[in-house]
Amino acid sequence: NAGVMQNPRHLVRRRGQEARLRCSPMKGHSHVYWYRQLPEEGLKFMVYLQKENIIDESGMPKERFSAEFPKEGPSILRIQQVVRGDSAAYFCASSPGTGSSYNSPLHFGNGTRLTVT
Amino acid sequence: GNSVTQMEGPVTLSEEAFLTINCTYTATGYPSLFWYVQYPGEGLQLLLKATKADDKGSNKGFEATYRKETTSFHLEKGSVQVSDSAVYFCALSDQAAGNKLTFGGGTRVLVKP
């Protein structure tokens, strides 16, 4: 019974390159959330997606960042032209998204640690 | 908007000591409250939750009571073990925000043998 799967676990990019982070939600979950954790800080919400829809992107930087959750395949968080300040751990979480979903806990993956050199 | 404030760490304790991590919140609606734990190099795991006032969440010897009058959800454990060393996050979600979690800044706990 696989949980939320993220890959890669570690990603190193040079400044100016693109970073692609992948997230496969738990089986039966149709809602995906992306969070960013800067060193020694808490988690900051970035974006909330359902299949083929962005529901809330209020936490996404206006430039260089994008996210998608296609009908088939994992959710992708894409960072173009990375800068050193993008170095962080990026966590994906999923939920069933049915009923009183607001009190259903999110299930988190182990994260992708992005290092920009 | 919603916000969560928790005590800053690190908190260093000896094994079998009593642990308290304070958490207070601000929310526009009637939130659900959560504690998550993050072990080194891993993602967050749900530790416990409470969905309405006066509910007590408990798991693995940890407890937290949803106190609406003081807008608090303090985490406690009566006798910690070395394996409890981790970062603990308080979080809330409310219906207006869907299932989006708002996190506190995290409290690092180090338990020494």
Is pLDDT at A98 greater than 70 in this prediction? Answer: no
Best B44, B49, B55, B66 residue to mutate vs chain A (most A CBs within 10 Å): B44
Residue A13 near residue A20, CB atoms below 8 Å? no
Is pLDDT at B56 greater than 60 in this prediction? Answer: yes
- What is the pLDDT, as a whole number, of residue A96? 83
CA distance A35 to B79: 32
- What is the pLDDT, as a whole number, of residue B28? 81
Best A35, A103, A104, A108 residue to mutate vs chain B (most B CBs within 10 Å): A103
Chain-chain contact of B89 with A43 (C-beta, under 8 angstroms): yes
Q: Does B51 touch chain A (CB under 8 A)?
A: yes
Q: Does B49 touch chain A (CB under 8 A)?
A: yes
- What is the pLDDT, as a whole number, of residue B3? 92
- What is the pLDDT, as a whole number, of residue B10? 93
Which B residues, 53 through 112, put their C-beta within 8 Å of a C-beta on chain A? 89, 93-95, 97-106
Residues of B in contact with A105 (CB under 8 A): 34, 46, 49
Give the CA distances from residue A117 to residues A99, B10, B83, in Å, rounded to whole numbers and listed in that order: 44, 29, 34
> Is B82 or B98 the better-scoring residue by pLDDT?
B82
Q: In whole numbers, what is the pLDDT of chain A averaged over residues?
A: 90
Q: Does B20 touch chain A (CB under 8 A)?
A: no
Is pLDDT at B85 greater than 70 in this prediction? Answer: yes
When mean pLDDT is compared across A66-80, B21-35, B68-82, the lowest value belongs to B21-35
Q: In whole numbers, what is the pLDDT of chain B averaged over residues?
A: 92
- Spatial CB neighbours of A52, under 8 Å, sequence gap ≥ 6: A69, A70, A71
Cis status of the peptide bond prior to A8, with omega within 30 of 0: yes
